[in-house]
Amino acid sequence: MLSSQSLKRRLLWQLILASAILIALFSTILYNFIKGSIYEETREQLLKQAHYLVANSYEQLDTSYLQTLDISVQIIPKPRYIDDATITQIREGKRSYLVLYYPYNFEERSFLILKKDITSIEEFLEQLWRYIIITNLISFVIILIIAHFLSSALSKTIQKLAAKLSKLNEDLLRPIKIRDIPVEFQPLGSSINILINKIQTYVKYQKELFIGIAHELKTPLAVMKLKNEVTLIKERSPEEYIETIKLNIKTIDELNKMIENVLKIGRQEGDQFEPPITLDLIEYLREKSNNYRLLAESEGKHFIVKLQPERYTISIQPTLLNHIIQNFVQNAIKFTPPGGTITLQSTPINNGIKIEVIDEGPGIDEHKDLFAPFKRSGAQSGVGLGLFLAKSAADAMGARISIKNRKDRSGAIATLIIPSKLVCPLC
């Protein structure tokens, strides 16, 4: 049994209903056309016969000729309310007749009345209607069978996709081969592949994150334990106890900072479900750059903004976008020495826009995966989760980020490429 929510059932009933209406409509039109044509031809014959009888003086015609006409003819006085040729249909017992009143002699005000038996015509039409009904029933059964196979064929692809998805697990995530499915279902296959890619990325980063958290927490805790054990081996001076306590407090502060950044990951996962809004990206970057400029100037550094084009309307999740841009700018300010310059610029590209944050710091080691959790670059302090969060935000939006060294001088270029389409592929 198919449930009431079954796509196959809905499609099957829609095909059956549409076909039944089409067959009934076509059959009715065909029957009425045949019926009308037969009656029209019979009327025209009666009119021609009446015209011939008037033209050749009905009273002088041979009776044998009249018998060949298969009609009965009489001369009657002009009926009331009839002034011209008039055809009516009457029924006498089980017989049906077509009756024509036709002017005959204007001086005598007489009319011819021609009466033709059309019982056989009606019987033929009734038989024809029965044949049409039987043909419709047979056609309906055939259409029912065809609709069943057609709906099965159309839903087969969805059933295959559903079966493939039901068997997916963390270790068997494989993209769907788009070329192997019908064109109509390829957008659905592409969306499923995007979802599979997001799941793969999420699983990969979560594994790295958990491993990294375990490692990062284990090392400072081991140091604290060892330091405390050494301190307790023998009696120490107050200054040495104070030094050990200060070291423990510093380590605890670092652990708290790390935990705060880990909590940011959980909050960002919620931000991935933020509905996209339409905004002017250039105006958004101008507003944000005012805060970035104040932050840079407070550390004795310059902040330059070069935004092109003048306007760029896009549908995007602003919280995720802010995660990325803010991380790029904070890193640029962190690694740029005093007196240096940080540049925020945007450039239109084919099918999208490119946003770059350029610094004058020492650059990066391009052989390292800086987007992995707890990866740090340079001697600056930090937990090493900023770029990991930025990469997660970019993946959620359907954007791409990268970091590479400058070629003109020392420094790095952090790049965000946002496609004009597929900004939020799963929304």
Q: Which residue has the higher pLDDT, 166 or 92?
A: 92
* Interior/surface letters 267-277, b for 16+ CB within 10 angstroms, e for the rest: ebeebbeeebe
Q: What is the mean pLDDT of residues 37-55?
A: 87
pLDDT band, very low/low/confident/very high, at 329 (cuts 50, 70, 90): very high
Residue by residue, DSSP assigns 398-424 as T-EEEEEE-SSSS-EEEEEEEESS-SS
Local structure of 312: helix, strand or coil: coil
Local structure of 292: helix, strand or coil: helix
71 Cβ neighbours under 8 A, 6+ residues apart: 46, 49, 114, 115, 116
The per-residue pLDDT for range 154-210, each reduced to its tens digit, is 677 677 766 666 666 655 566 767 676 666 666 777 777 777 766 766 666 666 666
The per-residue pLDDT for range 211-221, each reduced to its tens digit, is 666 666 666 77
Find the helix or strand (DSSP H, E) in which 67 lies: helix 63-68
Q: What is the mean pLDDT of residues 381-409?
A: 80
Asked, as a colleague might, if the bond just before 309 is cis with ω within 30 of 0, I would say yes
Q: Which residue has the higher pLDDT, 141 or 209?
A: 141
pLDDT given at position 219: 66
Q: What is the mean pLDDT of residues 100-117?
A: 86
pLDDT band, very low/low/confident/very high, at 425 (cuts 50, 70, 90): very low
pLDDT given at position 2: 45
pLDDT given at position 209: 64
Largest interatomic CA distance in the chain: 156
Give percent of the chain with pLDDT exceeding 70.
74
Q: Which of 140, 120, 131 lies closest to 31 in space, CA to CA? A: 131
Q: What is the pTM of this model?
A: 0.49
Task: Show the domains of the chain with their CATH numbers.
Answer: 7-142 (3.30.450), 197-271 (1.10.287), 277-419 (3.30.565.10)
Q: What is the mean pLDDT of residues 356-366?
A: 90
The per-residue pLDDT for range 265-298, each reduced to its tens digit, is 555 555 555 678 889 999 999 998 988 898 899 9
